[in-house]
Amino acid sequence: MRALTEDDIRGAFVNATDEQLQRMPLPGLHETLWDEREFLGWRDPQAAHLGYLVHWDEAEQTPVGIVVRAASGGMRAGIAAMCSFCHSPQPATQVRLFSTPRAGEAGRNGNTIGTYICEDLACSLLIRRAPAHLNPPQQVARRSADLLQRVQNFTADVMRTA
C-alpha cells in the first residue's frame, strides 16, 4: 500500500468519534514495510477491545480507515476458524468477531456490521509468513490481491449509506 503519514491516518477514519481519534495510538510507522502491507491494522494497547484498520483506496486516491471493536469472549478453543479477510485457516483463538459502526448517522444510531478477522489484524504478515517453497511469490501476489479486495469490499460496506 502507499506509505501514509500520521496526519493521513488520523484524517482517514470514516466511522470514528472525535474522542476515539484523539486517543488513538499509532503504530510505529517508520518500521512499517509499506510494500508488504495491504492494510495497516493494529490493536489499542490501552483499550483492548478496540482496533484500527487503514487501507489505501486506489480508485478514490485516498486512505480509508475504520475503527473495529472485538466481541468479548473468543471462539471455542480447539476448533479451526478462518479470517474473512486473508482466508487463512487458524486456531479459533486467533480469530475474533469484530464489529464496526457504519459511517455517518447509521453508525451513530448503533448500526454495526461484523466479521471474523485475525485477532492481531496482521493479515498482511500472515499471508507472507510461510516459507517460500510453500508460499511462492505468485501465490503471495494472488493472496495479496484477494486480501485487499476483501478489505475494500468491507470498508465500502461500512461507508454505504442506503
The residue (of 96 and 107) whose beta carbon lies closer to Zn ion is 96
Residue 28: burial class (beta carbons within 10 Å; 0-12, 13-18, 19+):
exposed
- Please give the residue whose beta carbon sits closest to Zn ion in the complex: 83
Burial 115-137 (b: 16+ CB within 10 A, else e): bbbbbebbbbebbbeeeeeeeee
CB-based contact 53:41 (threshold 8 Å): yes
Smallest distance, Å, CB 112 to Zn ion?
20
Stretch that binds Zn ion, among 3-11, 26-34, 38-46, 115-123 (CB under 5 A): 115-123
Smallest distance, Å, CB 119 to Zn ion?
9
Counting contacts by CB under 5 A, is residue 52 touching Zn ion?
A: no
Which amino acid belongs to residue 33?
L
The residue (of 4 and 118) whose beta carbon lies closer to Zn ion is 118
Counting contacts by CB under 5 A, is residue 127 touching Zn ion?
A: no
Counting contacts by CB under 5 A, is residue 40 touching Zn ion?
A: no
CB-based contact 24:16 (threshold 8 Å): yes
Residues that bind Zn ion (CB under 5 A): 83, 85-86, 118, 123
